Amino acid sequence: MKTRYALVTGASRGIGRAIATRLAAEGYHVLVNYRANEEKARETLDEIVAGGGTGELMPFDVGNAREVADAIDEWNDRHAGAFIEVLVNNAGTRRDNLLFWMTDEEWHDVINTNMNGVFHVTRALARYMMSGKRGRIVNVVSVSGVSGMAGQVNYSASKAGIIGFTRALALEVAKKGVTVNAVAPGFIDTDMTRDLDRVALAKRVPAGRFGTAGEVAALVSFLVSDEASYVTGQVIGVSGGL
């Protein structure tokens, strides 16, 4: 059977790791991207292999256009005739501050990773999906980008930007068998939310708890499946009702 390839950005930890292991269990050969944390990325790969799947590491900084293009070109050179048909743009960061105190660096770092990063990686892969007439792109955004969150103007702007990106790109590629959707998690139990007051925040969630990375992965798994071929340009919450 032909190998099917999926790239998950930011797959060394958290939601990305859960998505990578889930897609591997469903038969994809998963490219595990990360920026710096090779040890954690290897743990993801070990988990994939322990579950009977296959994968490989693919480090690059999504915010660095050159690094992204080089990594994808290098992979394509090694895999003549194959293409990456699933892309999950999951890599993300947050640097919270009130607007009044927000530094240029906090603004640009978050916009560069969360927004420019999606542009760099998607641009590098979408044309292969279009010529292969099959593709699934899922962008991990956030409830913060849908309704806004105080202290997160940079993060909310970056995620809202990617919601617009998702809707526009879906229109561009629909006829080529490529779908583009976004999932919007609420509070999910990962390193990113480790510093938050969980007890207080869980009270704001109608479901009364933080979600798990596996619950986000389950939604992504549906969106990349063949069954989801008529779902495109959508933003779907996975937020316990938040």
- State which residue, 11 or 48, has the beta carbon closest to ligand NAP: 11
- State which residue, 12 or 122, has the beta carbon closest to ligand NAP: 12
- State which residue, 140 or 178, has the beta carbon closest to ligand NAP: 140
- CB of residue 193 to ligand NAP, shortest distance in Å: 4
Residues that bind ligand NAP (CB under 6 A): 9-16, 33-37, 40, 61-63, 90-93, 113, 117, 140, 142, 185, 187-188, 190-193
- CB of residue 35 to ligand NAP, shortest distance in Å: 4
Report the catalytic residues: 155
- State which residue, 129 or 188, has the beta carbon closest to ligand NAP: 188
CA distance 147 to 156: 8
- CB of residue 177 to ligand NAP, shortest distance in Å: 26
- CB of residue 112 to ligand NAP, shortest distance in Å: 8
CA distance 83 to 104: 38
